[in-house]
Amino acid sequence: MNIPSHDVLIIGGGGAGLRAAIAAVEADEHVSVGIISKVYPMRSHTVSAEGGLAAVVRTDDDSLDWHAFDTIKGSDFLADQDVVETFVNEAPGEAVQLEHWGCPWSRDPDGRLSVRAFGGMSAKRTLFASDKTGFHMLHSLFQTSLKYSRIQRYDEWFVTSLLMEDGQVSGVSALDLRTGNLVAIPARSVIISTGGGGRIFPFTTNAAIKTGDGMAMAYRAGCPLRDMEFVQYHPTGLPGTGILMTEASRGEGGHLINNKGDRYLSEYIPGKMELGPRDIVSRAFVHEQRAGRVFEGPYGHYVHLDLRHLGESLIVEKLPFVRELTRNYVGIDPVHEPIPVRPVVHYMMGGVSTDITAKTPIDGLFAAGETACVGLNGANRLGSNSLTELLVFGARAGRSAVEAASGRAAPSATKLEELARAEEARIHDQFLSSTADSGERIADIRQGLQKAMEAGAGIYRTEEELSAACAAIAQLKERYAVVSVDDHSRVYNTQLIAALELGFMLDVAETVAHAALERRESRGSHSRSDFENRDDEKFLKHSLAYRREGEAPRIDYQPVTITRWTPEERTY
Amino acid sequence: MTEPRITLEVARYSPEEDDEPAFQKYEIPYREDWVVLDALNHIKDYVDETLTYRWSCRMGVCGSCGTMVNGEPKLTCSTFLRDYYPGTITVEPLANFPVARDLVIEMDDFMEKLQAVKPWIIRDEEDEKPVSEGEHLQTPKQLEEFKQFTMCINCMLCYSACPVYGLEESFVGPAALALAHRYNLDSRDKGNDERTHVVASSEGIWECTFVGECSVVCPKHVDPAAAIQRTKVATTKDWFKSVLMPWGAKS
Amino acid sequence: MSERREPRSFYPTISPTWWLKKRSYFMFMMRELSSVFVAAFVLLFMYELFLLSKGPETFNLFQESLRRPLFLLFYAIALIFAIYHTITWFGVLSRIQVVRIGSWTLPPIFVTLSAFGAWFAISAAVAWYFVK
């Protein structure tokens, strides 16, 4: 395969990556755009999103300011307000653009886009495509991207590192899964849209591929990871598998019930009940659990998500996928029985630090989507803002990358080849040579990591537990350094990929644990039992984690941009 | 009381060493709520790290894990061990595709065909509504027309079940044709004519003999067979109209 | 284990007896085969019409010639295939043709029931005419 030099190279073919690619080719009719994805783009995790996409499309009973304030308050005032204002402004246009591209949005009888209520939103502004919004969005974007012949795709190519020249990004090193060849792909600008890293935890809604690859790559290249301590637990995942039960089921009127048969949220957020923001609803579960008011099952404790009172026809019309999932995986029909649910890890607010144009501190490097921390979600993300984020900042990243590329010279192919050969040697020496072989299994280290994260960096955290997690991760990294891969095949070596992903996961986990340790306050989804209150004086700022070779990351801070909304007490 | 066990016979193929696939037996713990994917993951994590297969979402929406289970095309993430226990479960790569390694098949042909039917909204330049003017209106009824055909997760079980695709590789195939039909029925699309030379070709709908197995195996009830037959009816009607009333504008 | 070589994918082949491997494939082939018998019926019917035009004697002679056990056996088998053809055809009709009256879409079951209903009604009428 002849590897061209791309103007814009996008790592990750999910919602943000595809949107960026389309934006790039539309911004300039001469740019060459590449999308590298370790899976075929239709498999990207965007596909699993269910609930909806928030945008102020109904201006008669909604306003941009309300959407902005809901988001900022939802973020526990850690969001950068200029970013939020831009976001709410551009959201409606992106939602309509996706409709023009064929997305089968659910409709009102008069033909207009339907909107529904969602957690933390003060007005109905969440567009939806039944309860498979992410699926329909991803397929609409992917199918639309097929129109553009200038987008070159590298399907099932695994990026192992960013290639740098003089502190600037000049391309990537990528492994073609089909042949096992490691190749340098030159690019004038690179966009990282590889999603989050939920798989560092044992119970997650996330797919297998969410291993934090792009975050770790940027981190290793010297880019700071911002606000990593903020990990969102979705209140309603199935126990055991972690499969997502969309927030829309609560948006449509579903109730959360404890083992006493009570809608327990009346004790915590009587104003919003089941439509409270996710961090608060998840914490409520832990309180109920401590009080012994939850059910016990083979996969731990759970509560009930009751949809029975919604009636069969509503469930069939608005929540058919939820019904399908519960029938298949729990053997329950939500029309007749309540669904067992518990909080599971769902989303990372933190990620590759970018500014409002999706640019990172590293020249030539951009990021968008869950992988990035643009400053939109702060300490807690509101449901249905993420799908919008993919479009708004994916598009911005595409346009920014095109602009940046026009100002940069093409990278030196020979230099990149050298770097690729070095990368190939590094991977071979670490995993495929017989010298370092502890005989340990990758699965064991991975599970050790997941256990450590659940124990130390869960919904409620303490100094002791977080320190233990940091120490555990350091130990796991040592064990990882001597693990080897049995599979020496060049074709579809998924064990090698798993080993590389584990390395990424360990890096991401260390930033989460250390940033959480240093944030001695409770804010949004980061809850410290030993520092129960929000401390705006000391901590109204973003954390930045910088990699240090052989040491714990350096944690620094960056102020929050405040424009119009003064931080206040966050009650619902 | 010993822990219950189950046996899986999995097709292995090493492209650098083997001439053809051969079965390997694995005896593993049995759990009542495990799916075939859980079993494969257990094998890869604890028994044989070289076992190779595709998976991602584990909830039946990404389409990665299409595999033959006891000779039937299935998603391993949605196929429960308990439906086969205590018998041996045979796991093979999806039929009718070249095998790259173990359970991983080559999907290039499918991807090409998906693109060939132009699965995007096609409108005339003059018809282009600017985003600032808002959405195209589409009633729930209009949405209902094509909604079913939007549900395809591109898992390719239908291509595996289709004997025509097995015998005639040039057949465009169920999923691609159903996707073309989805766009043709979408009230916002005007691209019927542009798709017709691929869809209504001898390798398109006219290759289909309505075996119907594609619709039987489809995990999302898209009913690609219905999509193809309806396209045959629509195409034929259009042909008659163009022949009998050449002066009339095509719908 | 043979020597390592340039990796190549494995291309499976389909055996000519593919349609014997699964019940649904076999029934599909029977359905396709049934068209032959339907065609045979049509040809026979057309031939009989042609003979009828030649006069009652020619026609009756032909009818006599058919009263042979072998032909009756063929006829029975052909009839089974023809009925199977009709049933499978009516069974899929609703998936092929969506019927709309104004803005209302007819539920698929109505299409199926009307096809079968019309078949029985016409057959009953014809039978009644001959029994009378």
User: What tens digit of pLDDT does each residue of A93-130 get?
Assistant: 999 999 999 999 999 999 999 999 999 999 999 999 98
C76 membership: H or E segment, kind and range: helix C69-96
Give the per-residue pLDDT at B154.
98
Give pTM, 2 decimals. 0.95
Overall average pLDDT of the A202-221 stretch: 97
A250 is a catalytic site residue:
yes
CA dist., res. B143 & res. B113, Å (int): 25
B104 in contact with C, Cβ within 8 Å: no
Tell me: the pLDDT tens digits for A465-486?
999 999 999 999 999 999 989 8
CB contact under 8 A, C25 and B163: yes
Ranking A99-113, A125-139, C71-85 by mean pLDDT, the lowest is: C71-85
CB contact under 8 A, B233 and C97: yes
Give the per-residue pLDDT at A5.
87
Q: Which of A6, A136, A153, A250 is catalytic?
A: A250
B202 in contact with A, Cβ within 8 Å: no
- Contacts with A181 from chain B: Cβ below 8 Å: none
CATH no., domain B108-244: 1.10.1060.10
Tell me: the pLDDT tens digits for A332-386?
999 999 999 999 999 999 999 999 999 999 999 999 999 999 999 999 999 999 9
A143 in contact with B, Cβ within 8 Å: yes
Measure CB to CB from residue B210 to each of C1, C92, C97 and give the nearest one.
C92
Question: Domain-by-domain residue ranges, chain B?
Answer: 5-105, 108-244
Mean pLDDT over all residues of chain C? Answer: 89
Question: Domain-by-domain residue ranges, chain C?
Answer: 20-131
What architecture is the C20-131 domain classified under in CATH?
A: Up-down Bundle (1.20)
- Contacts with C7 from chain A: Cβ below 8 Å: 179, 490-491
Q: Which of A234, A399, A534, A542 is catalytic?
A: A234
The pLDDT of residue B248 is above 70: no
pLDDT band at A274 (very low <50, low <70, confident <90, very high): very high
CATH superfamily of B5-105: Beta-grasp domain (3.10.20.30)
CA dist., res. C28 & res. C19, Å (int): 8
A489 in contact with B, Cβ within 8 Å: yes
Ranking A71-75, A284-288, A409-413, C22-26 by mean pLDDT, the lowest is: A409-413
A234 is a catalytic site residue:
yes
CB contact under 8 A, A441 and B139: no
Mean pLDDT over all residues of chain B? Answer: 95
Chain B nearest-CA distance from C34, in A, is 14
Q: Is B195 exposed, middle or buried (0-12, 13-18, 19+ CB in 10 A)?
A: buried
Crossing angle (nearest 10°) for helices A494-518 and A463-481: 150
The pLDDT of residue A436 is above 80: no
Tell me: the pLDDT tens digits for A152-190?
999 999 999 999 999 999 999 999 999 999 999 999 999
State percent of chain A over pLDDT 90. 93
The two three-digit tokens of residue C103, written as one number: 């803005």
A123 in contact with B, Cβ within 8 Å: no
Give the DSSP letter string of A407-444: TSPPPPHHHHHHHHHHHHHHHIIIIISSSS-----HHH
Give the per-residue pLDDT at B251.
45
CA dist., res. C44 & res. B113, Å (int): 44
Residue A154 DSSP symbol: E
Tell me: the pLDDT tens digits for B174-228?
999 999 999 999 999 999 999 999 999 999 999 999 999 999 999 999 999 999 9
- Contacts with A108 from chain B: Cβ below 8 Å: 140
Closest residue in C to A488 (Cα) is C4
CA dist., res. A72 & res. A54, Å (int): 14
Measure CB to CB from residue B64 to each of A39, A112, A136 and give the nearest one.
A39
C7 in contact with A, Cβ within 8 Å: yes
CA dist., res. B54 & res. A442, Å (int): 18
Q: How many contacts, defined by CB atoms under 8 Å, are there between A and C?
A: 3
Chain A nearest-CA distance from C102, in A, is 18
Looking at chain C, which runs of residues are DSSP E strands?
100-101, 104-105
Side-chain-side CA neighbours of residue A374 (13 Å): 31
Residue type, B130: P
The residues, ordered by sequence, that sit 6+ positions from B47 with a Cβ below 8 Å of its Cβ are B26, B28
Q: How many contacts, defined by CB atoms under 8 Å, are there between A and B?
A: 156
